[in-house]
A and B are shown apart, each in its own frame.
Chain A
Amino acid sequence: MSLNASQLDNSGRRIVVDPVTRIEGHMRCEVNVNADNIITNAVSTGTMWRGLEVILKGRDPRDAWAFVERICGVCTGTHALTSVRAVEDALGIQIPYNAHIIRNLMDKTLQVHDHIVHFYHLHALDWVNPVNALKADPKATSELQQSLAPGNPKSSPGYFRDVQNRLKKFVESGQLGLFSNGYWDNPAYKLPPEADLMAVTHYLEALDLQKDIVKIHTIFGGKNPHPNYMVGGVPCAINLDDVGASGAPINMTSLNFVLERIKEAQHFVKNVYLPDLMAVATIYKDWLYGGGLAGQNLLSYGTFTRLPGDKSTDLLPAGAIINGNWNEVLPVNVRDPEEIQEFVTHSWYQYADESKGLHPWDGVTEPKFELGPNTKGTKTNIEALDEAHKYSWIKAPRWKGHAMEVGPLARYVIAYASGRENVKEQVDRSLSAFNQATGLDLGLKQFLPSTLGRTLARALECELAVDSMFDDWNALVTNIKNGDRATANVEKWDPKTWPKEAKGVGINEAPRGALGHWIKIKDGKIENYQAIVPTTWNASPRDNKGNIGAYEASLLNTPMERPDEPVEILRTLHSFDPCLACATHVMSPDGQELTRVKVR
């Protein structure tokens, strides 16, 4: 059973949030609330158009990664990696073991970095009130810090007082940005001042950490902020005897540098990120909204494959769960034309027959903008959408007809249900700590499918990823010391070695969920290129059967403190880590406005 539009009540006041802030890209959300300010209907829409084939058709498939790296400002490396995988799959290229490990290290670096930045710089302000931090007694913050994370040496009252002074100066100076768009006197904020000050301090620490961990990309990818990728392997050479500086082959000095960065990140995740999250969860213990599809349908392509080409060695396994049945994890085949299909019944595109979905290899992106008869406003200034008709630039991907949630929570539930011991240990440990701290006795299925559960799963995954980077590092060093220096397979670099026609798929689990690139190659050039990005799954509009997507489902039944201050909507939408830049494109003239919240 998916959640269906026919069960929703769209009477009551309509609230429009446009754009949704602190995300990549452009997104709009409309909800209806009843007399008790509880959300009864939700409409999520991408307000920009996309079509990768517009830039890629006819180009050299070996160059595609460089273009897709530019479609978005957040998941650059993820798209590049998925793109080279699609081409390698089409051409039957096996990459060397060193390249496989190095790609894993880069992918995990991105995952760890992205999760930390997401929590502190995009999501924390939905829970943390920086203005309230000004009222904190730094001594109380120090005590709180020491009780939460005894292993964190940065915990003196003076340390927190310094940050508080800096914050005070910053707020008083009237600086633009950062904290200017908040609803800081909304009762939806519940942390005591000392916890707010601790979190603001870690907001700054996270900034320092992110700059160090991305240096791993510079070592292996040659460049930051846009690391290099390569069809057939990785574009770096290895020579342990070399002593050269940057730009030189990977040597023991650079590998040791990488190890140090992994250690720093691990320290931060265990002593700052996880304790902060548990502290937030404890205080917001009654805010268990936002589950939506997470309690029903979840999808993961699986990720962090230990051995090249062997998906059974995925650290987080692939699979699908439907109808909330954790006893059965179903296999997923991204090549089967009957499994993954995109529908456009409610999207601003047209198919010859819209009662059917199309597999991405046969995907069509033909725009058709038309508004339903119940739309309020005009074509260029839409006041309220008519969700019974077409209403989004995002297509509706479905797995065997089901709307699915993707992302860290999906990966974690699927791993848990698949009996992965390392994941079970993390999840059980967190739930028991939560229950102990709150005096509650929640079961896993009450706790995990929620906004908090989604945010927790992301932090746990960050821990799992950083822990496993040590294994990758050891495997790489061992393999090199055993004499293997290969980093690229160039046997099929020359297009003369390619078949006349080929098609392939690259899959990955991006920080925000399942990512697939489907490519068709003809006469050495790209014939068709389609991507289904995580946010397409999560932010999808309704489909031909009225099944609603993850964002829409997650907002239902959530009470709002003040309907004209959408803290709760932002909190839940941000928990998905939305990245509309990839899901959609083109600026709308609306972009010139600041956040518009309208209550109708």
Chain B
Amino acid sequence: MSGSILILGIGNLLWADEGFGVRCVELLNSRYRFPEPVQLMDGGTQGLYLVPYVQQAEILIVFDAVDYGLAPGSLKIVRDDEVPKFMGAKRMSLHQTGFQDVLALAAFSGSYPKELLLIGVQPEELDDFGGSLREPVRAQLEPALQIALDFLAEQGVVPEQRAADDPATELAPEPLALTPYEHGRPDEQCAYRHGDIRFIPQPSEQD
């Protein structure tokens, strides 16, 4: 698979802004038909399972929610050797340690992408199990896609817009797609959703 380009969305879509990476590849996949050497993947929180795909990629584009220490919704691009540092320095979620190890394992095995592009967004909210993207993060979906498309164009890769009668094969099962995921969410009355109440300020109980 020489010359291959892997476009990987990572993160846990069940945790609000953590789903950013997965939603990016979902959108790309639904809109475009990519030429042969490009593979789109919903990597979820798969960690070590992703090693073989990274090993096979010559160019790796990763969409993710990253804690850059910036304002929520800030979009930041990181390239090549800088990528592993940003995927582990501030560990926000389970998969990020995982992905730093994925890159390290690929490097140790001797098969490492020649070029890496991390398109990351600063999340606003993670502690919302079953929740979806917050507005500042959702607003960065289109700009993030454009960055990837521009980068691909520099490589001479231009995807074809999908026709209405030519729907894509979904990367993930349909119930997980953004719209059914959001519409099917149990309401607050029927399912307590506030997570770890240590971090919910309660005036009478603060230290």
Interface of A toward B, CB cutoff 8 Å: 24-26, 48-51, 53-60, 63, 66-67, 70-74, 76, 117, 121, 166-167, 170, 175-178, 204, 207-208, 210-211, 214, 223-226, 228, 365-367, 369, 378-380, 393, 581, 585-589, 591-592
Question: With A60-B175, A367-B197 in contact, do A225 and B191 touch (Cβ < 8 Å)?
Answer: no
* Chain B residues within an 8 Å CB radius of A72: 45
Question: With A66-B176, A214-B49, A367-B192 in contact, do A585 and B129 touch (Cβ < 8 Å)?
Answer: yes
* Chain B residues within an 8 Å CB radius of A63: 173, 175, 184
Answer whether residue B79 sits at the interface, using C-beta atoms and an 8 A cutoff: no
Q: Are A59 and B129 in contact (CB under 8 A)?
A: no
B90 smallest CB distance to A (angstroms): 5
Question: With A170-B107, A210-B48, A367-B197 in contact, do A67 and B129 touch (Cβ < 8 Å)?
Answer: no
Q: List 8 A-B contacts (CB under 8 A).
A: A121-B105, A170-B108, A204-B109, A225-B41, A587-B94, A588-B198, A589-B199, A592-B92
* Chain A residues within an 8 Å CB radius of B130: 54-55
Give the docked Cα–Cα distance between A191 and B88 (Å). 30
* Chain B residues within an 8 Å CB radius of A225: 41, 43-44, 46, 49-50
Give the docked Cα–Cα distance between A378 and B205 (Å). 11
B139 smallest CB distance to A (angstroms): 23
Give the docked Cα–Cα distance between A159 and B8 (Å). 33
Answer whether residue B98 sits at the interface, using C-beta atoms and an 8 A cutoff: yes
Give the docked Cα–Cα distance between A170 and B107 (Å). 8
Q: Please indicate which of the listed interface residues A70, A76, A175, A589 has the most CB atoms of chain B within 10 Å of its own CB.
A: A70
Interface bin, chain B = 35 or more
Give the docked Cα–Cα distance between A98 and B59 (Å). 40
* Chain A residues within an 8 Å CB radius of B143: none
Q: Are A177 and B88 in contact (CB under 8 A)?
A: yes
Q: Are B107 and A59 in contact (CB under 8 A)?
A: no
B62 smallest CB distance to A (angstroms): 15
* Chain A residues within an 8 Å CB radius of B47: 24, 73-74
B181 smallest CB distance to A (angstroms): 9
* Chain B residues within an 8 Å CB radius of A591: 91-93
B171 smallest CB distance to A (angstroms): 8
Q: Are B85 and A176 in contact (CB under 8 A)?
A: yes
Question: With A70-B44, A367-B197 in contact, do A211 and B13 touch (Cβ < 8 Å)?
Answer: no
* Chain A residues within an 8 Å CB radius of B67: 592
Q: Are B207 and A59 in contact (CB under 8 A)?
A: no
Give the docked Cα–Cα distance between A199 and B172 (Å). 37
* Chain A residues within an 8 Å CB radius of B58: none
Q: Are B195 and A586 in contact (CB under 8 A)?
A: yes
Nearest B residue to A200 by beta-carbon distance?
A: B108
Q: Please indicate which of the listed interface residues A54, A378, A589, A591 has the most CB atoms of chain B within 10 Å of its own CB.
A: A54
For B191, give its contact among A54, A176, A207 (CB under 8 Å). Answer: A54
Answer whether residue B37 sits at the interface, using C-beta atoms and an 8 A cutoff: no
* Chain B residues within an 8 Å CB radius of A204: 108-109
Question: With A178-B101, A592-B92 in contact, do A226 and B44 touch (Cβ < 8 Å)?
Answer: yes
A370 smallest CB distance to B (angstroms): 9
* Chain A residues within an 8 Å CB radius of B50: 225
Which B residues between 28 and 51 are near A, CB-CB below 8 angstroms?
Answer: 41-51
For B91, give its contact among A175, A223, A366, A592 (CB under 8 Å). Answer: A592
* Chain A residues within an 8 Å CB radius of B171: 223
Q: Are B186 and A57 in contact (CB under 8 A)?
A: yes
Give the docked Cα–Cα distance between A373 and B85 (Å). 41
Give the docked Cα–Cα distance between A367 and B192 (Å). 9
Q: CB-CB contacts of B158-188 with A at 8 A, as 1s and 0s? A: 0000000000000111011000000011110
Question: With A224-B49, A585-B129 in contact, do A380 and B173 touch (Cβ < 8 Å)?
Answer: no
- Besides A225-B46, A587-B15, 17 other CB < 8 A contacts? A24-B47, A50-B129, A54-B186, A55-B14, A57-B186, A63-B184, A67-B176, A121-B48, A176-B84, A176-B100, A178-B104, A210-B48, A210-B49, A210-B51, A225-B41, A586-B195, A591-B91
* Chain B residues within an 8 Å CB radius of A66: 172-173, 175-176
Give the docked Cα–Cα distance between A55 and B128 (Å). 10
Q: Are A73 and B45 in contact (CB under 8 A)?
A: yes
Give the docked Cα–Cα distance between A170 and B110 (Å). 10
Question: With A51-B129, A66-B175, A587-B93 in contact, do A378 and B207 touch (Cβ < 8 Å)?
Answer: yes
The 7 closest A-B pairs by CB, nearest first: A211-B52, A73-B45, A55-B130, A177-B104, A63-B175, A57-B186, A66-B173
For B190, give its contact among A58, A74, A366 (CB under 8 Å). Answer: A58
* Chain B residues within an 8 Å CB radius of A393: 196
* Chain B residues within an 8 Å CB radius of A170: 107-108
* Chain A residues within an 8 Å CB radius of B184: 58-60, 63
Answer whether residue B126 sits at the interface, using C-beta atoms and an 8 A cutoff: yes
Answer whether residue B122 sits at the interface, using C-beta atoms and an 8 A cutoff: no
B188 smallest CB distance to A (angstroms): 10
Q: Are A211 and B55 in contact (CB under 8 A)?
A: yes
Q: Are A587 and B104 in contact (CB under 8 A)?
A: no
Nearest B residue to A368 by beta-carbon distance?
A: B197
B60 smallest CB distance to A (angstroms): 15
Q: Are A587 and B127 in contact (CB under 8 A)?
A: yes
Which B residues between 1 and 29 are near A, CB-CB below 8 angstroms?
Answer: 12-15
